[in-house]
Amino acid sequence: MIRIEPRQAPSRLMTLGIPVLSAVVALALAAIPLAFAGAGIATAYQEMFKGIFGSVFAFTEMLTRATPLIFTGLAAALAFRARLWNIGAEGQLYLGAMAAVAVGAGAVDAPGFVLIPLVILFGCAAGAVGMAVPTVLKSRFGADEVVTTLLLNFVILIFLQMMLEGPLKDPMGLGWPQSPPILDQGMLPPLMDRMRVHSGFIIALVAAGVAQFMLVRSVWGFKLRAVGENAAAARHAGIRVNRSMMSVALVSGALAGMAGVSEVAGLKGYLTADLSPGFGYTGIVVAMLAGLSPAGVVVSALFIASVFVGADSMSRAMGVSSYLADLVVSMSLICVLIGGFTARYRITRVKPLRGEGA
Amino acid sequence: MMDILQILLSESFWAASLRIATPLIFGVLGALLCEKSGVLNLGIEGIFVAGAMAGWMAVWLGAGLWGGVIVAALVGAFFGLIHAILTVPLGLSQHVSGLGVTMFATSVSYFVYRTALPNVSSPPRIEPFQVLDIPILSELPFLGPVLFQQTGLTWLAIFMVGSVWYVMNRTPLGVAIQAVGDNPDSVDAQGLSVYGLRIGAVVAGSALMALGGAFLTMSAFDAFFFGMVNGRGWVCIALVIFASWRPGKAFLGALLFGAFDAFQVRLQTEVGALVPGQVFLMAPYILSIIALVVAARSADYPRALLTPWFKGQR
Amino acid sequence: MTQQKILSLNGLSKRFGSVIANDAVSLELHKGEVLALLGENGAGKTTLMNMLFGHYMPDEGSVDVADEEGNLRPLALGHPQAALQAGIGMVHQHFTLAENLNALDNIVLGSEPLRMLRRDRAGARAKIERIMAHTGLTAHLDVPVGKMSVGERQRVEILKALYRDVRILVLDEPTAVLTPQEADTLFSNIGAMTREGLSVIFISHKLREVLAFSHQIAVLRHGVKVGEIATADANERVIARMMVGADTQETPREAMEPGKPVLKLENISVVGRSKRDTLENVSLTVRRHEILGIAGVSGNGQSALAGLISGLTRPSGGSIVVDHIGITEHHPQTMIREGVGRIPEDRHHDGIVGAMSVAENMVIERLDDPEVQSRGLLKHDAISANADRLAADYDVRGPGVNARARLLSGGNIQKMILARVFEQNPKLILANQPTRGLDMGAAAEVARRLLEARARGAGIVLISEDLDEVLSLADRVMVIHDGELIEANTRDREKIGLMMAGEMA
């Protein structure tokens, strides 16, 4: 007979070790689909490794990929900490990107030191509004934010297509549904010559640092944690739960919006409907792998970005479908869930007693 | 005004509504079964994808249409089992586990599809379910074309509405599932297995969800496309709340939703020039959100929904 | 009474982590016998019975149950199903009923094989009606349990066991939710059933009912059976000494002249989702140096009253005045600001954020205080120092102030809440079930602190289902029944009991 018992307190080693172990296990499990696809497993892993660390360019590509994931990871981590299930980062990302383009692609002609903050501000504000709506629906009407944020993702994506065929359409775009480019001085400056990695990465690191500090050291973070861990007790203690939720929602939405800003104003320059290959959803995996710790988000975003960049390059070299990356990412989420369980509980075998099995 | 009335009274409109509603009926019934036992299954979106892909591929490989249906159900049950193990005995977050299953099921389906068909420009087609033309009944005025010109899968969906209702309300098993979703201790104290009931309900519910996906590739269309599920699973999660976890209301909710969708397609052809087409595309999702907002306050959630239960910890 | 042995518990032990809940406990039960299992809260009574019924797996020991012929046979442990088949039924203190189902479905649940395609409701109904007629325990079979009163739910629980033809019935604190009169009826029903051969174990910590209704008394203390005595040979002093290990001490309480009013509720009504959180036109006044005791069976509006004073519940009419200040915004923050200290009924659910540290929980009610924060940033050192001081003053023991609050024992959690509340020198204190689930030492500490606050000049509202507690602490008693509050104007148990049942206005 098997019994599940809670552990007194998860050890420090476990809280750090389990995400790492989960990531490794998920990577190892990739061997199964690789074998299914008939690829040489050792070569495939080699190709993946080369795709990340093989050259300076490959490595900076990985950092570029990690940038939006840090933002969406932070968006999920902070919201989940408050038990606010923001599954709408994908939509909020696009809202941010749309606002960035609306402001930055010629509507305002100002020097960079004005335009860049303006683009960021509008992008973040749009993302924040995107999360404020479901939060109001939750606190006012009790509508589950999981479902509303999920559904809003679809609404926003369709709205984006409408905008790209309408007001945000580039007249010089040869009929393609894409926005006009952001003015040169509105773009986030690149970090290295001839590489795509841009200063959005630095902003992401700063955002993670600030989020970590605020979560642990500020009254805002205290309230957020209290509301998330036990909303009833937080309310009983005089904390304004709805207000706290709303402030987290705004920050979470703004971070997701910032992911959109960073992609459009840091990397692509203009907006299309396929700007994000699911960064919003992947952010949830990033946050979970990080144990919902903002500092950890940076590490796990780097890992997930490596998986994507490595698998992309491997799939180009060996003809294995690049959906392998999504597969590894989803498996690492499941692994870290199971891992988190083993950190909190202990499974013990109990010796059968007399009379067992009647 | 006349045009709208004309649409609402036409046979083809209601036939289309029922057709559009069919995958949702499967999905809502599946979600209902899971949630009645106390488990939210956000794996539904991915299970739809997996059911669509697996059912289609089975037929494409020569399993026959009903063989494909069975394969889809089994694949749905498999992903349901993953969610059930993570959330029932392990008691992990139902939200996160469900999203994980959706991501996993989706990426497995896409990976398998791409690996099996690496270089096709247009997806291969299968011979889908045909309309079951029942000789005399289908000539009935109005009802005939609406009801009796549907495929076997739509009939299966309607049959499942009755079956789920019967099981939930008229059998000891259904009563036990209702009890475990309200207060697991009540079931445990009467010597029944909380884990067994919940895992069973989630697995069965997930199989139903997968049939919703299978309908897309085997009846509504004849091939598998990426992104074809397009949020239908999430819509079901909203509809089950709207239906307050009753099979009959779930059917009505899905039908209403189908009718609205069919209506907007027809309206679009009438007034399409005035409004951008995307407004109509958005409508179903916004409608779901509105349905949720309207129903949420008065919703009678299964009391134990989202709450894990561990044996020997009371 | 025959002396046929029907059940024997042999050296059952159970550990939860490092806590020993039961240590080699043995018991015997005979046919037709009523055995009282007596002990303080936390003595291990419920754990022992949960092992018997299969909810818990014992770490050591075995159980033998008599079969139909009276031969003792080993019972498979860890399976409620096995216990039910052996003829053991248990009525849990926290009812195990599905509230969305009616009484009939709850009673029949689990007795029919799950593969059956239909239910035999008519047969089941006939059998239950027979049992009801025979025992005098009645319930409305077609009413959802969620709509039933607590007393009726308990009858459904007992019927559930009897429907399974139990020969041994375990009742866990059956009178905790009943008025004294309802409790008497319950015991007379049980008496009738034992005369027909049913054997009963009932768990209690109330000496009076144990002495009145049992044949045999077994006393548990700290998980060990410390004594067993025939009821005929027992008296209150003897078994109280067994329970506590020493003679009990009355809390000394000096008379005091009440001062100015600190809380005035006038014609307050609360519209709740159900009866249990509804108040109808309630008025009360609490003065300085006064403890107002609110007696009543749970579910009669106590939670609405407590919610009101805590700031969680918004009244639909009437006024609340705390020390001359009319409360207009109903939020816990307002009440805290006006000097109301609140000890919540469910300390795990409302009292602490278990995943946060003890130190953080000690300042959670005053996050605006410049001692705790400046410019929105927490003063970690001050928070730790505050916690160290309070932990010492209030004797909060555990793995340290930086450990998660959920690692503390129930008694220490309550002391932590007391520290948080009393440290702010509140004018008014709401103490909602402040000693529930505490052992006698911790309960005495709570009583001492309440009396101390009263001496200092606080007014106190003490809500308790334990009439003895109300009578021993309160200066004045009011009774709550069905959302209405009436002045008791007496300290007579019998009369207050009738008021609790709504039979005397």
Query: Could you tell me which residue, B28 or B264, shows the higher pLDDT?
Result: B28
- Closest residue in chain B to residue C156, using alpha carbons only: B186
Query: Could you tell me which residue, B213 or B134, shows the higher pLDDT?
Result: B213
Task: Convert the pLDDT of each residue in C489-503 to its tens digit.
Answer: 988 888 888 888 887
Does the pLDDT value for residue C373 go beyond 80?
Answer: yes
- Inter-chain CB proximity B175 and C119 less than 8 Å: yes
Domain boundaries, chain A: 2-349
**Which chain A residues contact residue B296 at CB under 8 A?**
141-144
Name the residue among B51, B154, B65, B155 with its Cα closest to residue B105.
B51
Residue B303 falls inside a structural domain: no
Burial of A164 (0-12, 13-18, 19+ CB in 10 A): buried
Residue B174 falls inside a structural domain: yes
Query: What is the mean pLDDT of the segment spanning B21-28?
Result: 97
The C-alpha R_g of chain B, in whole angstroms, comes to: 20
Does the pLDDT value for residue C276 go beyond 80?
Answer: no
- Inter-chain CB proximity B299 and A142 less than 8 Å: yes
Q: What is the rounded CA–CA span in Å between residue C273 and residue C279?
A: 11
Residue B278 falls inside a structural domain: no
Residue B154 falls inside a structural domain: yes
Interface of C with A (CB under 8 A): 17, 57-58, 61-63, 74-79, 82, 310-312, 331-333, 335-336, 342, 344, 349-356, 360, 364-365, 367, 373, 376-378, 380, 403-404, 407
The pLDDT, as a whole number, for residue C246 is 61
Give the pairing of strands C290-295 and C476-481.
parallel
**Which chain C residues contact residue B179 at CB under 8 A?**
98, 100-101, 105-106, 109
**Which chain B residues contact residue C124 at CB under 8 A?**
none
How far is C-alpha C132 from the geometric centre of its chain's CA atoms? 27
A185-194, B42-51, B117-126 — which is least confidently predicted? B117-126
Q: What is the rounded CA–CA span in Å between residue C187 and residue C196?
A: 14
Tokens standing for residue A141? 């009407």
Tokens standing for residue C156? 């459904």
Query: What is the mean pLDDT of the segment spanning C219-232?
Result: 90
Full residue range of the structural domain in which residue B199 is found: 16-117+147-229
Give the single-character DSSP code of C233: G
- When CB atoms are compared, the residue of A146, A321, A337 closest to B111 is A321
- Inter-chain CB proximity B118 and A321 less than 8 Å: yes
Domain architecture of chain C: domains with CATH: 5-244 (3.40.50.300), 261-500 (3.40.50.300)
At A356, is the secondary structure helix, strand, or coil?
coil
Query: What is the mean pLDDT of the segment spanning A48-58?
Result: 93
Percentage of the residues of chain C whose pLDDT score is greater than 70 = 97
What's the full length of chain B, in residues? 314
**Which chain C residues contact residue A353 at CB under 8 A?**
57-58, 61-62, 77-78
At A22, is the secondary structure helix, strand, or coil?
helix
Does the pLDDT value for residue A274 go beyond 80?
Answer: yes
**Band of the pLDDT at B21, cuts 50, 70, 90?**
very high
Q: Does A57 touch chain B (CB under 8 A)?
A: no
Domain A2-349 has what CATH class?
mainly alpha
CA of C369 to nearest chain A CA: how many angstroms apart?
Answer: 11
Percentage of the residues of chain A whose pLDDT score is greater than 70 = 94
Percentage of the residues of chain B whose pLDDT score is greater than 70 = 98
- When CB atoms are compared, the residue of A232, A237, A358 closest to C365 is A237
CA of C238 to nearest chain B CA: how many angstroms apart?
Answer: 33
- CB neighbours of C96 closer than 8 A, spacing ≥ 6? B183, B185, B186, B188, B189, B190, C157
Looking at residue C68, its amino acid is: E
C326 has which bridge partners? C321
- Inter-chain CB proximity C407 and A223 less than 8 Å: no
- Closest residue in chain C to residue B200, using alpha carbons only: C114
- CB neighbours of A136 closer than 8 A, spacing ≥ 6? A246
Chains that touch B (3 or more CB pairs under 8 A): A, C
The pLDDT, as a whole number, for residue C122 is 93
Name the residue among A209, A174, A184, A183 with its Cα closest to residue A70.
A209
- Inter-chain CB proximity B171 and C117 less than 8 Å: yes
- Closest residue in chain B to residue C161, using alpha carbons only: B190
Query: Could you tell me which residue, B142 or C350, shows the higher pLDDT?
Result: C350
Q: Does B104 touch chain A (CB under 8 A)?
A: yes
The pLDDT, as a whole number, for residue A355 is 38
Does the pLDDT value for residue A287 go beyond 50?
Answer: yes
CA of B276 to nearest chain A CA: how many angstroms apart?
Answer: 7
Q: Does A113 touch chain B (CB under 8 A)?
A: no
CA of A152 to nearest chain C CA: how many angstroms apart?
Answer: 32
**Band of the pLDDT at B280, cuts 50, 70, 90?**
confident
Does the pLDDT value for residue B91 go beyond 70?
Answer: yes
Contact C141, C125 (CB under 8 A): yes
The C-alpha R_g of chain C, in whole angstroms, comes to: 24
The pLDDT, as a whole number, for residue A354 is 42
Mean of per-residue pLDDT scores for chain C: 89
At C204, is the secondary structure helix, strand, or coil?
strand
Does the pLDDT value for residue C310 go beyond 90?
Answer: yes
Does the pLDDT value for residue C282 go beyond 50?
Answer: yes
Write down the H helix ranges in chain B. 2-9, 11-36, 44-60, 65-87, 94-116, 143-147, 152-170, 172-182, 184-189, 194-215, 232-242, 247-271, 277-296
- When CB atoms are compared, the residue of A4, A320, A327 closest to B107 is A327
Q: Does C101 touch chain B (CB under 8 A)?
A: yes
CA of A112 to nearest chain B CA: how many angstroms apart?
Answer: 35
The pLDDT, as a whole number, for residue A3 is 63
- Inter-chain CB proximity A358 and C78 less than 8 Å: no
Residue B142 falls inside a structural domain: no
Task: Convert the pLDDT of each residue in C334-347 to its tens digit.
Answer: 999 999 999 999 99
Task: Convert the pLDDT of each residue in C60-78 to its tens digit.
Answer: 999 999 988 888 999 999 8
The pLDDT, as a whole number, for residue B20 is 93
CA of B185 to nearest chain C CA: how many angstroms apart?
Answer: 5
**Band of the pLDDT at A356, cuts 50, 70, 90?**
very low
- Inter-chain CB proximity B286 and A155 less than 8 Å: yes
C477: left (phi over 0), alpha (psi -120 to 50) or beta: beta
Q: What is the rounded CA–CA span in Å between residue C188 and residue C379?
A: 61
Task: Convert the pLDDT of each residue in A317-327 to its tens digit.
Answer: 988 888 999 99
**Which chain B residues contact residue C50 at CB under 8 A?**
314
Q: What is the rounded CA–CA span in Å between residue A314 and residue B123?
A: 25
The pLDDT, as a whole number, for residue C175 is 82
Interface of A with C (CB under 8 A): 1, 3, 5, 8-9, 217-220, 222-223, 225-226, 229-230, 232-240, 350, 353-358
Q: What is the rounded CA–CA span in Å between residue A251 and residue A210?
A: 12
Cα–Cα distance list, B133 to B128, B129, B137, B152 (Å): 15, 12, 8, 10
Tokens standing for residue C365? 């009610």
Quote the ipTM score.
0.92
**Band of the pLDDT at A7, cuts 50, 70, 90?**
low
**Which chain A residues contact residue B286 at CB under 8 A?**
151, 155
Residue B60 falls inside a structural domain: yes
The pLDDT, as a whole number, for residue C249 is 57
CA of C189 to nearest chain A CA: how many angstroms apart?
Answer: 33
**What are the b/e assignments for C346-382, b being 16+ CB within 10 Å?**
ebbebbbbbebbbbbbbbbbbbeeeebbeeeebbeeb
The pLDDT, as a whole number, for residue C475 is 94
Residue B70 falls inside a structural domain: yes
Mean of per-residue pLDDT scores for chain B: 90
Does the pLDDT value for residue A6 go beyond 70?
Answer: no
Q: What is the rounded CA–CA span in Å between residue B178 and residue B192?
A: 13
**Band of the pLDDT at B275, cuts 50, 70, 90?**
confident
Contact C34, C200 (CB under 8 A): yes
**Band of the pLDDT at C414, cuts 50, 70, 90?**
very high
Interface of B with C (CB under 8 A): 170-173, 175-176, 178-179, 181-183, 185-192, 300, 302-303, 311-312, 314
Residue B256 falls inside a structural domain: no
Task: Convert the pLDDT of each residue in B94-118 to its tens digit.
Answer: 999 999 999 999 999 999 999 998 8
Which pTM does this prediction carry?
A: 0.91
Q: What is the rounded CA–CA span in Å between residue A240 and residue A234?
A: 8
Contact A158, B230 (CB under 8 A): no
Does the pLDDT value for residue C364 go beyond 60?
Answer: yes
Q: Does B107 touch chain A (CB under 8 A)?
A: yes
Q: What is the rounded CA–CA span in Å between residue A39 and residue A318?
A: 7
Q: Does A85 touch chain B (CB under 8 A)?
A: yes
Percentage of the residues of chain C whose pLDDT score is greater than 90 = 61
The pLDDT, as a whole number, for residue C186 is 86
Query: What is the mean pLDDT of the segment spanning A198-208?
Result: 97
**Which chain B residues contact residue C48 at CB under 8 A?**
none
**Band of the pLDDT at A358, cuts 50, 70, 90?**
very low
When divided into structural domains, chain B yields a total of 1
- When CB atoms are compared, the residue of B95, B115, B293 closest to A137 is B293
- When CB atoms are compared, the residue of C97, C99, C118 closest to B170 is C118
